[in-house]
Structure 1
Amino acid sequence: MGLDIVPEPRVYLDTALHPASTLALPVDAARHVTRVLRLRPGMPLTLFNGEGGEFEAEIAEIRGQTVTVHIGQYRDVDRESPLTLRLVQGISRGERMDWVIQKTVELGVTRIEPVFMARSVVRLDARRAILRRQHWRGVAVSACEQCGRNRIPEVANPVSFGEWAAGYRASDPDGAGHPPGISLLLQPGAKRRLTDIAYTGGPITLLAGPEGGVTETEAGRAVSIGFMPIVLGPRILRTETAALAAFSAIALHWGDF
């Protein structure tokens, strides 16, 4: 008979954490701990702040809406992918975009860049774009809480495809001085498959279209800035499936699967 192991609940806190200290949880975290996780005094949990590593902790007291935790030992735990993975995702409708962000974070993506493409149904003004980015970052945080990652992937501001393409450098996509990697465009009908790509290291950037895919004009622009079109088999994948399938295959070939 198998043994069911229930992992300790994990909670992200955007603050400095120190061993052998006591901390009152922020309102949202306190509500999550009591109403969703249903923790009680004396019960264990794990805290992390996105800077790497995690902390053992225990619920010390619950008084009204105030939850106090005692922070214990620091654990130098790294569950990051050995690959630097970036996703440039054509913005799709609400739940589909949330799904892509959640699942690619679970698969180890390092940075997510949402872009408005010709076939994107969603259009956002400046205010709504800010709110949507905050929402997407919340999705990424929740995914890290669930999957055990201790670093939060960056979610960039949503921009138009043209603006994104104008600022993209295939050899150093985020300007961080990384060595050249590979830039892949998911495109049905492309001649190359992932297994045809010679990967020798560096960041892997993946461009996936929204509902309806990438237009010929967008594909041509992507190729002109260094992207290689690849196909994921003979079937047409939905926008919420394509990036997940690609990153899974990448992890299997070159990562930690």
Structure 2
Amino acid sequence: MRIPRIYTSQALSSGNELQLEERAAHYLGQVLRMKVGRELRLFNGDGCDYRATVTAAGRRELRCEILETEPTLDRESPLRIELGVGLSKGDRFDWVVQKATELGVARIVPLYSERVDVKLDAQREDKKWQHWQQVMISACEQSGRSQLVDLLAPQPLDQWLSDCKADCKLVLSPHHADAHNSSAPGSIALLVGPEGGLSEQEVTASLDKGFAPLRLGPRILRTETAPLAAISILQSRWGDMS
């Protein structure tokens, strides 16, 4: 029987009993129908997994006891990838957050750029961020990661370009020849445009900030496909997918 793996924001240590948050309690109690005595795994982003058992299960709450800290397989990539990606409509950005998390990125930064066709006021922006945070957490639960991705609030492209620090900085551009260094970096910043891509002025601005162009073959990829293809290539070349 599969043992569920659940995120909680609470401190975890052997011997402690705790009540899980509403989302986790609903999923375990109402969806999986877990009863007293069932085993589960908990993590809170500290890099460890914790073996636990259900001690009380009701319609609206579920309590469990932490049995022990488990030795966990290190699933964090030795290559730190920061993904700056233009916001997109519908569930496309959800897809990017989910799959980039599964592929091992360390940070995701949603970006407002010239061709972004998503308008968010402060309240909607916060609600979107909370939604993406939950998408990321679910991807960590599924993929076995014990550390959360650093998911930033949306910000203007020019701000990110100025603040971004990495050993290697790459911008996806189908109209430029590859010009990146072939030596192995410890960290990479990867810039991907929204639907419609980055404008020529934005590509030039990124080059002026030390980014090098990266081209993914002769085909034009969608905004939700391009970052995942690039991340896979980078992880295969310098990360932990070799």
Asked if residue 107 in structure 1 is aligned to residue 103 in structure 2, the reply is: yes
Offset at residue 192 of structure 1 (A): 0.9
Q: How does 1:228-247 map to 2 (within 5 A)?
A: 228-247=212-231
Offset at residue 73 of structure 1 (A): 1.2
What is the TM-score of this pair, normalised by structure 1? Answer: 0.89
Question: In the alignment, is the contact (CA less than 8 A) between 1:87 and 1:113 conserved in 2?
Answer: yes
Q: How does 1:73-152 map to 2 (within 5 A)?
A: 73-77=68-72, 78-152=74-148
The aligned residue for residue 204 of structure 1 is 188
Offset at residue 7 of structure 1 (A): 4.2
The aligned residue for residue 61 of structure 1 is 56
Offset at residue 61 of structure 1 (A): 1.8
Q: How does 1:143-162 map to 2 (within 5 A)?
A: 143-162=139-158
2:68 alignment partner AA: Q
1:173-203, Cα deviation, whole Å (9 max, x unpaired): 2xxxxxx51001011122117xx64133221
1:196-235, Cα deviation, whole Å (9 max, x unpaired): 6413322111000110111101000000001101100111
Q: How does 1:1-20 map to 2 (within 5 A)?
A: 7-20=2-15
Question: In the alignment, is the contact (CA less than 8 A) between 2:185 and 2:238 conserved in 1?
Answer: no
Superposition CA RMSD, Å: 1.5
Question: In the alignment, is the contact (CA less than 8 A) between 1:23 and 1:69 conserved in 2?
Answer: yes
For structure 2, the 5+ residue unaligned runs are: none
Q: How does 1:155-170 map to 2 (within 5 A)?
A: 155-165=151-161, 167-169=162-164
- Report SS of the residue matched to 2:99: helix
The aligned residue for residue 42 of structure 2 is 47
Q: How many residues align?
A: 240
* Aligned residues with identical type, % of pairs: 41
Q: How does 1:184-203 map to 2 (within 5 A)?
A: 184-192=170-178, 197-203=181-187
**C-alpha separation in 1, matches of 2:201 and 2:65:** 56
The aligned residue for residue 24 of structure 1 is 19
- Report SS of the residue matched to 1:192: coil
The aligned residue for residue 167 of structure 2 is 181
1:141-170, Cα deviation, whole Å (9 max, x unpaired): 1110110000011111101223323x324x
Question: In the alignment, is the contact (CA less than 8 A) between 1:90 and 1:115 conserved in 2?
Answer: yes
For structure 1, the 5+ residue unaligned runs are: 1-5, 174-179
The aligned residue for residue 177 of structure 1 is none
- Report SS of the residue matched to 2:232: helix
Question: In the alignment, is the contact (CA less than 8 A) between 2:98 and 2:136 conserved in 1?
Answer: yes
- Report SS of the residue matched to 1:94: coil
Distance change (3 Å), C-alpha of 1:134 and 1:64 = closer
Aligned with residue 38 of structure 1, among 27, 33, 39: 33
Question: In the alignment, is the contact (CA less than 8 A) between 2:109 and 2:152 conserved in 1?
Answer: yes
